């Protein structure tokens, strides 16, 4: 491993250390409990009301409350607000349910990927690790100069992990500040 990779990994692990050491990290003003599933915790976060509404509209509640394991990159309300005007409302229409499901599942991976594993894979892959999602999207995981994990979708949209390693009974949530979108034609 090169010196630069070692330093990037060390910086990322230091950034995540606070989140990983908290017994019940706070997300959106609510405690998150490792013995509750993704849905049970997400509904309590004031920062994820748009995501919760979208998960309900897409019919994904039972899936994300299921056994898993899942890693969910959970966009905040502010992340959804950054989309083009009317995009969220359009996605929430019943006739656009397939597109909504595709968009939401581009934030879900079918395994538990903690931050140390993600940063390790980034380092092992020379700074960029492809993350295949359940929605068929491939996200590019990399580290910013300041050590934060950056996810980039197939359209070039980026989102930083702002809270990592929020443990759930059926996986883990990493809060992100952007919305990952399926590849646009």
Cα–Cα distance measured from residue 6 to residue 58, given in angstroms and rounded to the nearest whole number: 41
| Structure tokens, 29 | 């003003």
Alpha helices in 85-149 (DSSP H): 87-91, 97-105, 115-124
**Whether 109 contacts 131, CB under 8 Å:** yes
**Whether 75 contacts 83, CB under 8 Å:** no
**pLDDT, greater one: 68 or 22:** 68
Q: Residue 185's pLDDT is what?
A: 75
Q: Residue 24's pLDDT is what?
A: 59
Q: For residue range 129-180, list pLDDT tens digits in order.
A: 999 999 999 999 999 999 999 999 999 999 999 999 999 999 999 999 999 9
* Extents of the domains making up the chain: 3-176
Question: Model's pTM, two decimal places?
Answer: 0.86
**Cβ atoms within 10 Å, residue 14:** 10
Q: For residue range 78-134, list pLDDT tens digits in order.
A: 999 999 989 999 999 999 999 999 999 999 999 999 999 999 999 999 999 999 999
CA distances from 14 to 140, 147, 175 (A): 21, 8, 17
Q: Under CATH, which architecture does the 3-176 domain have?
A: Roll (2.30)
């Amino acid at each position: 491993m090169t010196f630069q990779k070692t330093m990037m990994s060390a910086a990322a692990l230091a950034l995540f250390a606070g989140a990983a050491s908290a017994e019940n990290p706070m997300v959106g003003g609510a405690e998150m409990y490792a013995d509750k599933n993704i849905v049970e915790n997400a509904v309590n976060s004031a920062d994820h009301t748009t995501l919760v509404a979208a998960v309900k509209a897409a019919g994904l509640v039972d899936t994300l409350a299921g056994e898993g394991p899942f890693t969910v990159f959970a966009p905040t309300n502010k992340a959804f607000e950054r989309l083009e005007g009317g995009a969220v409302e359009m996605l929430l229409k019943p006739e656009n349910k397939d597109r909504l499901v595709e968009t939401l599942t581009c934030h879900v991976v079918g395994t538990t990927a903690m931050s140390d594993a993600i940063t390790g894979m980034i380092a092992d892959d020379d700074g960029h690790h492809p993350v295949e999602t359940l929605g068929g999207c491939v996200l590019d995981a990399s580290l910013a100069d300041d050590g934060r994990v950056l996810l980039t979708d197939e359209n070039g949209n980026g989102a930083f992990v702002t809270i990592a390693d929020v443990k759930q009974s059926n996986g883990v949530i990493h809060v992100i500040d952007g919305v990952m979108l399926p590849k646009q034609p």
